[in-house]
Amino acid sequence: MRIRLEEQLTQLNDALIEMASIVKERISRATQALIAQDVEEAKKIMAADDEIDAMEKEIERLCLTVILQQQPVARDLRFVSACLKVITDLERIGDHASDISEFTTYLAGSPYIKKMEHIPLMADLTMKMLTESIEAFVTRDLKLAYKVIGDDDAVDELFLLIKNELIELINKNTCNGDQALDLMMVTKYYERIGDHATNVAEWVVFSLTGTHKDSQIM
């Protein structure tokens, strides 16, 4: 019985890693398309969103199978329960990659009103947070999980910096308003990606300690 449970938990680990890898790749491609104003690439990313949705459903099925067949307890049960939460965050990150790509199609008609430097920095940081949060999850690394949670402050700081830059551009020339608002939405999506990566790290803490956001669950 224990051997079968270990096999299923390993299968869950592998599926989670694969889903996270695809989601990270979508963020990277969406960012590159945004910078290059590549509408065709943006449309491809939007069209492929169903793949991530399908992966979420398959991992959810695996989780429920483990619970029903193996009736895990303690840390194993927390791990499977956390998987169900993590895949929701990963699916939403995939949605945000699609959302960013949609805005790329709106923004491609004219040159950017500001140099694209801080938004790519946000993208790089959120991808790093996602990578490390998943690594912490599959390797049971509590210290790394706490590091990811702390890194979210840097994402928030970049968000405020870009927000202030865009407001200043609108104040200088109201004609910048439409594009500035679109770029603000893009920036907000990256900020949300950072939040979801933080959520994953918080579920790592839960899976290892039974505590989530200062409240003991199991």
Rounded CA-CA distance 182/36 in Å is: 16
Angle at 9 between CA 212 and CA 146, to 5 degrees: 30
Q: What is the pTM of this model?
A: 0.92
Domain layout of the chain by residue ranges: 2-216
Rounded CA-CA distance 56/108 in Å is: 31
What CATH number belongs to 2-216?
A: 1.20.58.220
Q: How far from 18 is each of 79, 114, 138, 158, 180, CA to CA, in Å?
A: 17, 35, 12, 29, 35
Element (H, E) at 211: strand 211-212
Rounded CA-CA distance 37/100 in Å is: 11
List the chain pLDDT tens, one digit each, 218 residues. 678 888 889 999 999 999 999 999 999 999 999 999 999 999 999 999 999 999 999 999 999 999 998 888 888 999 999 999 999 999 999 999 999 999 999 999 899 999 899 999 999 999 999 999 999 998 999 999 999 999 999 999 999 999 999 999 999 999 999 999 999 999 999 999 999 999 999 999 999 998 887 555 55
Phi-psi region of 116 (alpha: psi -120 to 50; beta: other; left: phi over 0): beta
Structure tokens at 200: 């994953």
Q: Assign 187 to helix, strand or coil.
A: helix
